[in-house]
């Protein structure tokens, strides 16, 4: 394993080294809250980061794995495409936002807007999640072993949210749904992949009521007449 010390190497040099590597394992020391550490990885390498990181760690992650041994700030694994990003501590806002694929594991808590606009990524959170988690989530699965704050799944599309703990409130158009055999299988797979332990029968599933998909008005002709003109 190659060691890169951010106390001696610039962030630009670190990311250039990681992005140009085709194979291998790398250990990053002294990250000291730096932003965009290990961003844009595009080959099957393993990166371990010893310490806390700032914004957008492992952002635009394409392949390989990144493990953060500490906490992460806003935008962890934002726009991840595939591979795995794991954090042993807590993540602040917008972890896994807009992710298209891959797996994001937060062993601690995740803050507000975890998994917003997710488009196929799988996210597993070992602790609690903050408000507006899963906002406009389009596809993928979000697993929460702890509790969820207010407005869970607001304006959700076709993603699944599995929650084991208490939920403060559901957002617009988000409802509880039946757990099918396929859902249990997906949940078991993600718990195994994350290395986190829980019984699948302790979870509830939430998704879209599909009431926000289309504009609807009771009497469009009367509405146009009241306005005195047609709308284009």
Rounded CA gap, 113 and 71, in Å? 17
Rounded CA gap, 171 and 153, in Å? 5
pLDDT in tens, 97-111: 999 999 999 999 999
Higher pLDDT: 107 or 212? It is: 107
Strands lying side by side in the sheet with 119-125: 2-5, 25-29, 46-50, 65-69, 84-87, 103-106, 119-125, 139-144, 160-163, 204-208, 174-177
2-227 classified as CATH 3.40.50.80: no
Within a 10 A sphere around the Cβ of 47, how many other Cβ atoms? 25
pLDDT in tens, 16-31: 999 999 999 999 999 9
The reported pTM is 0.91
DSSP-assigned states of every residue in 119-169: EEEEEEESS-B-TTTTTT--EEEEEESS-B-SSBTTT--S-EEEESS-BS-
pLDDT in tens, 153-198: 999 999 999 999 999 999 999 999 999 999 999 999 999 999 999 9
pLDDT in tens, 68-77: 999 999 999 9
């Amino acid at each position: 394993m190659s060691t890169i010390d951010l106390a001696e190497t610039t962030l630009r040099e670190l990311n250039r080294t990681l992005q140009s590597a085709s194979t291998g394992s790398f250990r990053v020391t002294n990250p000291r809250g730096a932003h965009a550490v290990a961003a844009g990885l595009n080959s099957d390498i393993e990166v371990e980061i010893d310490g806390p990181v700032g914004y957008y760690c492992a952002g635009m992650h394409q392949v390989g794995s990144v493990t953060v041994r500490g906490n992460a700030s806003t935008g962890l694994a934002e726009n991840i495409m595939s591979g795995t990003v794991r954090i042993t501590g807590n993540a602040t806002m917008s972890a896994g936002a807009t992710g298209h694929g891959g797996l994001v594991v937060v062993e601690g808590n995740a803050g507000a807007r975890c998994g917003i606009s997710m488009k196929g990524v799988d996210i597993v959170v070992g602790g609690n999640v903050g408000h507006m988690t899963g906002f406009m989530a389009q596809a993928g699965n979000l697993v929460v072993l702890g509790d969820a704050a207010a407005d869970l799944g607001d304006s959700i599309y076709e993603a699944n949210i599995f929650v084991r703990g208490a939920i403060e409130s559901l957002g617009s158009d988000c409802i509880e749904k039946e757990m099918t055999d396929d859902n249990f299988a997906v949940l078991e797979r993600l718990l195994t992949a994350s290395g986190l332990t829980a019984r699948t029968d302790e979870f509830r599933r939430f998704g879209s009521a599909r009431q926000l998909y289309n504009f609807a008005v009771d009497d469009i002709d009367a509405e146009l007449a009241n306005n005195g003109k047609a709308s284009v």
